[in-house]
Amino acid sequence: MIENPQFDIVIQEQQRLSELLSSIEETARQNKAKIANHDAYTAELEKARLESVSWREKNSLTFKLVENDKFDPAKYLTSFQMVDSPYFGVVGINDTDKRIGAKEYLIGKQGFVSHDNRALIVDWRKAPISRFFYDYEVGEEYLETIQGKDREGMITRRDTVDILKRSLRRIESGADVYEQAGDKWVKNEKQYHSTTDTKVANQDHRMVDIVSLISPEQFQMITSEATDGCTLITGGAGSGKTVVSLHRLSCLQFNYPERFTPDRCMVLMFNKVLRNYVRQTSSELLGNTRVDTFSAWALSAITALTGKVIKPVAGDDLTARKKSSMLSGLLSRYVQEVREPDPIQDLWRFYGQTYVLDAMFGEGKEKETVLADLRRRYSARSQAVSFADLSVLLRLCQLREKEGPVRDALGWYAHIIIDEGQDLSLLELEAILAATDKQNSITLSADSKQKILSWVDAADFDIFHKNLKEVGVSNESLSVSYRCPREIMALASRISNRQSEQVGRHSGVLEYHRAADEESAIILLRRLVEKLVAEDPNSLTAVICKKKTDESMLHNALKGVYGLHQPGALTFEPGALITIAHQVKGVEFANVILYDPNSKDFRNSELDLNLLYVCVTRASKRLDIVYWRDLAAGLVAECQ
């Protein structure tokens, strides 16, 4: 029992939680009984109808069964799933309407109405009420329209609580933090609390549910009432573009469940690493909504359109040319002029058109060699489609079936999220948009400073953005980076030349470690990894290098280090991992060690500076730069 008056807030919240859990249990018991009674009555009616010999009585019993089914409690009594952590926020108001007056709302991931019809928890996606929690601070006056009525008053309380396994663990109230430490409670001064802290506490560094940490700026975008057309979200690293996109879709599915069903929505991520990173959160946030890469989805879409199962071959010397924005208009011309029933044959014939070859190669000598290869493929009915061919093949299939029965049968998607749009080609972006229904509802996030793929033309995204005006586009911008500390974002801003980028309020560590040679650098790196893992075994440290050869070499050099992940798949367990720069976009780590980012590997080009920006902005606590050669241009000034 807590007797200190300064912990009265803890006692009150524990009492509230206890009463709430009792109500949840009682409601579940009564709902179960209602369903059981209904099922028993249904069984009685069915038995009576089966045994009846009178057709009049049978008809009467059938009518009763139909009527009884209309009031089946199983259809409207939804079970409360969030019992272990029923709510995360408490917001108090003092409304000028005396019929409302002083009132407190509990904000959770799922709404809860008790057996006696009291709304005890408000779903965070119910914006008219949850806005009190997300948009206001204590002492601020509000003026909101709720259920058609103007409401005004003052916010009297805004607390964040952590409940784990039905037990209160933490309360943030104003400048104070109340935390359970063993068998007692302690009161501390409130400090910055990041998603990294949650990951360390849970010993799981995949994307976490951060619904309690959403900022007012992010909440406005998430709860936007716009459902048609494109919402374009831009912003720097760590500003929450992916978070906003995922939570926005969750809101659409909650508020318009008949339209945005999980099977008619999709999330497309940049690569497999980012896809796996997001899947952990989306299972709770979005149910069974598909989360995939463009290539994986394109393969399934081609199969749906053509009935053919494609197994792409790796490697294509013509990738950049096949990603060219010029092919977009040429595909439209081709489908008007040529009829070819077989999809793969259609692809080879398209590439072989004189105007297509001229667009891809100009006067280059490769043209005749490529044409000869295409004729051979067409003659042999080759199925050797590469990954670079997928967007061309998919667009070709879509244009062939633009108004056809296949498109009508598929129904397409009510909403698609496109992440890291700046690294998709024009054809890929057009293929995604063409897969939506007539409302063209998509959420597209992008950041030009994080474009890292050399074979995608930087102008493609601008062309697509301009074309979006035909379907309607809303431009939103996130201006504050919440992931990285001030010191690291200052470096990132200099690399990207994005001086206007705002950063969060927390501090971190940025250190340079210069070695005399490669051997010394590896020794230094090993000591640093061992130190970071030892200091916090539940954190995740990433060693990022530029080349695959360096990745392999570093795994051998750090062999035996406690907590070192096995080479291969990028996982998010605590410890340390080694990976290459192109794999880390979109993910975050507590600590990042950038290994030898020299001027030869990271040249003073736009793409390499973007890649460097991506690398340094993965760190949410500290960034260490271990090097032995001349540093890349964006890093030099910091250590001179």
| Per-residue pLDDT at 402 exceeds 70 | no
| Per-residue pLDDT at 60 exceeds 50 | yes
> Quick one: average pLDDT of 552-565?
94
Residue closest to 554 by CA, chosen among 523, 592, 510: 523
Q: What is the mean pLDDT of the chain?
A: 90
Separation of alpha carbons 30 and 114, rounded Å: 10
- 8 Å CB contact between 205 and 572: yes
- Give the confidence band of 203 by pLDDT, cuts at 50, 70, 90: low
- 8 Å CB contact between 623 and 592: yes
Separation of alpha carbons 440 and 419, rounded Å: 16
Separation of alpha carbons 538 and 536, rounded Å: 5
Lowest mean pLDDT among 136-150, 301-315, 492-506, 576-590: 492-506
Separation of alpha carbons 486 and 545, rounded Å: 23
- Give the confidence band of 639 by pLDDT, cuts at 50, 70, 90: very low
Residue closest to 627 by CA, chosen among 601, 603, 605: 601
Decide the pairing of beta strands 141-146 and 149-164. antiparallel
Tokens in use for 369? 């060699």
| Per-residue pLDDT at 2 exceeds 90 | no
- Give the confidence band of 64 by pLDDT, cuts at 50, 70, 90: confident
> Quick one: average pLDDT of 42-47?
90
pLDDT of residue 634: 86
Residue closest to 542 by CA, chosen among 273, 283, 279: 273
> What percentage of residues in the chain have a pLDDT greater than 70?
93
Residue 64 neighbours by CB distance under 10 Å: 15
Tokens in use for 276? 């796996």
pLDDT of residue 93: 97
For residues 273-300, one letter each, b for 16 or more C-beta atoms within 10 angstroms of the residue's C-beta and e for the rest, the string is bbbbbbbbbbeebbeebbbbbbbbbbbe
| Per-residue pLDDT at 605 exceeds 50 | yes
Residues paired with residue 291 on neighbouring β-strands, in sequence order: 267
Summarised one tens digit per residue, pLDDT across range 216-274 is 889 999 999 889 999 999 998 888 899 899 999 999 999 999 999 999 999 999 888 88
Decide the pairing of beta strands 442-446 and 230-235. parallel
- Give the confidence band of 346 by pLDDT, cuts at 50, 70, 90: very high
| Per-residue pLDDT at 570 exceeds 80 | no
Q: CB-based contacts of 322: which residues, under 8 Å, 6+ apart?
A: 316, 360, 388, 389, 391, 392
Separation of alpha carbons 639 and 444, rounded Å: 37
Q: pTM of the full predicted structure?
A: 0.88
Separation of alpha carbons 414 and 260, rounded Å: 6
Q: CB-based contacts of 140: which residues, under 8 Å, 6+ apart?
A: 154, 155
> Quick one: average pLDDT of 8-27?
96
Summarised one tens digit per residue, pLDDT across range 98-143 is 999 999 999 999 999 999 999 999 999 999 999 999 999 999 999 9
> Quick one: average pLDDT of 199-226?
77
| Per-residue pLDDT at 572 exceeds 90 | no
- Give the confidence band of 306 by pLDDT, cuts at 50, 70, 90: confident
Separation of alpha carbons 275 and 570, rounded Å: 11
Residue closest to 168 by CA, chosen among 180, 153, 159, 160: 180
Residue closest to 265 by CA, chosen among 287, 237, 295, 240: 287
| Per-residue pLDDT at 446 exceeds 90 | yes
pLDDT of residue 61: 86
> Quick one: average pLDDT of 513-542?
95
- Give the confidence band of 200 by pLDDT, cuts at 50, 70, 90: low
pLDDT of residue 450: 92
pLDDT of residue 209: 66
| Per-residue pLDDT at 25 exceeds 60 | yes
- Give the confidence band of 640 by pLDDT, cuts at 50, 70, 90: very low
pLDDT of residue 423: 94
DSSP alpha helix (H) spans, 52-108: 55-70
pLDDT of residue 188: 85
DSSP 631: B
